[in-house]
Amino acid sequence: MNPDLQDALIAWQGGELPPGRVDTLLEKLRGDAQFRQALATEVWTLSLTKVAQAPDPRWIALHEEIGLVDRQFTVVDGGFEASLMQNVRREPLRFVNAWWRWAAATAAAAVVVLSATLLLQHSESETIVKETLAVLVPDSESSPSRALSAGPLRLADERVRLLFTNGVIVDIEGPADLNLLSVSRVICHEGKLRTQVPKGAEGFCVETPRGAVTDLGTQLGIAVSRQGKTDVDVFEGQAELSVRIPGQEGLRTAVLNQDDRASVNPGTGEIRATDQSVLMEATEPQTRRLRLREDYSQRILAAKPAHYWRLNREVAGNIPNEVPDAPALVIVGGVRVQEDAHGFASARFGARQQPGVLVSEQPWKTPAEGYAIEFWFTAETLDQMALAALTTLEPLRPHLALVELGGRRPGESTAAGTLRYLLRWPAGHRDGMNLFSAATAALPYQWHHLVAQQRAGRMEMFLNGKSISSAMADDSPQASEALLQFGSLELRPAQDPAKLRRPFAGRIAEIAVYDRVLSAAEIGSHAASR
């Protein structure tokens, strides 16, 4: 120990020293380069401890300076109008008539006023810019999913699925030339589209040359040729087709019902019934392959988990535990152990159509000294979905811990691909300490390795082997009896599986639960086992 260094550190922090000592230390600092370097090292370590433990800052003034907060209040959802106007300005006139630009801008302005009004009625945290509009999932494994914000999208001869953050699904067959304006508006210059618009997202609009197709809660096909000819085919529900009459201010509209087909001639503004089918099969994207090393299970067992459910086999409605004498996971509702297209077996969760949950057959006594929950998952939607939950045995199943996907981080508006790890002590239905990943950290149709762990209230979340967030909870959880659940917010006694909340859509594999926290090296090693 270097007494001078220690005293200098005390003085640095405002601590008291004997009279004259401060001057001596300053004198030494002036003349001793080694001493300066040593103190700089101590000071730097100290500042790292401070920043590492501090919450993330909220820099509203900075957001205002760069125009984001202003846009939230005065413009629109995700800077929509700004991006719309920028994008419209970039549109070649030969494709999109000026009238449509003004129509789009007027529509945007209407949304602006409405959004601004709504936003001002809500808390500040709901007013942050939506940066990601959709996630693009390729039909092949050649490239991973990626987040899209407003802007052009051009495709060669390929098929992709766009998952919009409002639940709209658009399958696209190239060659295609589009421009994403918002979660409810896309310009299509060329290409074949199939839209699926869920309840609540009605009004999704595809602008076409001189016209627009507004999906009123349907499944429909739209084909736009390079010359601007537009064909529409309503597979289910209803759509509104509109086209501007050349040389006039008039706008011709037609409502199409299920099985109606129509063709629009942008040169004349005519809408004609047609036999032309725009049938395009819905793209079913394949999750990218997860190929774990052959010794993966041995590695996990060597780490001595309290529970290890591989989720690759089902025995009499249960998922067996690989740890001898440890309880199985009971399958409730729409969960099935299935192989994917690559032959990898895992638990498939059926989302809202067939909600399901896996729940531990017997309670688990969470150790006071900490625990870790580790698993692989791949999602198939951008919905808010529970991955893992730790609840007490009380009938309303208050949460001790929760790991979920697609929840909005306060202050951010993009929820797509955001992971959340919540810790509550004592168990409850509200409040607690949260860790969040960055938005789009865990995109769908890709496998991700996740570890959520805590020791003495110190929470850590690791994604794909890297630490992505950590914090100190207000209280350290004590040992308690808990139920482990996977794929839903909770399962209450005698609950109808159809009413499960935040059901997961996707696959989960290789769940391991430990009576201790894992080291960063162990986590890195497990995540790298593919």
Partner 1 sequence: MLESDQLNASLDHVLRGQPDAFLAIVRAYGPGLRAYLASQLFHIDEVDDIAQETFIAAYRSLNSFQRGHDFGAWLRGIARNKLLRFFEQTNRRSVQLENFRHEAASLLQAELEDTAASVKSEQLQAMLSCITRLPDRIRHVVRSLLDGSKAAALAEEMRTSTGAIYQLQYRALGMLRECINQELAHEP
Q: Which residues bind partner 1 (CB under 8 A)?
A: 1, 5-6, 8-16, 22, 25-26, 29-30, 36-37, 39-54, 57, 59, 61-62, 65-68, 79, 86, 129, 131, 438, 455-456, 458, 460, 465-467, 470, 472, 517, 520-521, 524-525, 527-528
Nearest distance from residue 426's CB to partner 1, in Å? 21
Minimum CB distance to partner 1, residue 438 (Å): 8
Instruction: Tell me whether the omega of the peptide bond preceding residue 426 falls within 30 degrees of 0, making it cis.
Output: yes
Select 57 or 343, whichever has its Cβ closest to partner 1. Answer: 57
Q: Find the shortest distance in angstroms from Cβ 452 to partner 1.
A: 14
> Smallest gap, in angstroms, from Cβ of residue 195 to partner 1?
27
Nearer to partner 1, 389 or 473 (CB): 473
Which of 172, 198, 202, 166 is closest to 187 using CA atoms?
Answer: 172
Question: What stretch of H or E contains 162?
Answer: strand 159-164
Residue 354 has a CB neighbour count (10 Å cut-off) of: 16
Cα angle at 146 between 168 and 293, to 5 degrees?
115
Residue closer to partner 1 by CB (options 11, 345) is 11
Report, in Å, the least distance between residue 24 CB and partner 1: 11
Residues 6+ apart with CB under 8 A from 182: 76, 77, 78, 80, 83, 84, 133, 150
Residue among 258 and 467 whose Cβ is closer to partner 1? 467
Q: What are phi and psi of 376, to 5 degrees?
A: -110, 145
The nearer residue to partner 1, 12 or 102, going by C-beta atoms, is: 12
Residue closer to partner 1 by CB (options 290, 351) is 290
For residues 306 and 466, give the distance between their C-alpha atoms in angstroms, rounded to a whole number: 23
Instruction: Give the nearer residue to partner 1 in terms of CB position, either 197 or 461.
Output: 461
Q: How far is the CB of 229 from partner 1 (least distance, A)?
A: 34
* Rounded Cα gap, residues 183 and 185, in angstroms: 6
| Least distance from partner 1 to the Cβ atom of residue 73, Å | 16
Q: Could you tell me which of 121, 124, 127 has the C-alpha nearest to residue 78?
A: 127
Ranges of H-type helices in 236-390: 296-302
Which CB, 222 or 441, lies closer to partner 1? 441
Nearer to partner 1, 67 or 203 (CB): 67
Residue nearer to partner 1 on the CB measure, 60 or 498: 60
d(CA 43, CA 54): 17
Centroid of chain to Cα 452: 17
Q: Which residues of 499-519 are buried (b: 16+ CB within 10 A; e: fewer)?
A: ebebbbbbbbbbbbbbbbbbe
Closest by Cα among 53, 55, 50 to 436: 55
- How many Å apart are CA 447 and CA 454, to the nearest integer? 23
CB-nearer residue toward partner 1: 77 or 215: 77
Which residues 6+ apart lie within 8 Å of 422 measured at CB?
399, 401, 402, 403, 404, 432, 433, 434, 435
How many residues are there in the chain? 530
The neighbouring-strand residues paired with 194 are 171, 221
Residue with smaller CB distance to partner 1, 37 or 338: 37
Residue 38: CB minimum distance to partner 1, A: 9
Please, what is the minimum distance in Å from the beta carbon of residue 18 to partner 1? 12
Alpha carbon distance 292, 298 (integer Å): 12
Closest CA to 107 of 184, 51, 14, 196: 184
- Residues 447 and 376 sit within 8 Å (Cβ to Cβ): yes
Q: Are 149 and 131 in contact (CB under 8 A)?
A: yes
CB of 510 to partner 1, least distance (A): 18
Q: Residue 58 Cβ, how far from partner 1 at the closest point, in Å?
A: 9
Q: Please, what is the minimum distance in Å from the beta carbon of residue 498 to partner 1?
A: 41
CB of 72 to partner 1, least distance (A): 12
With respect to partner 1, which residue has the nearer C-beta, 11 or 119? 11
CB of 78 within 8 A of CB of 130?
A: yes
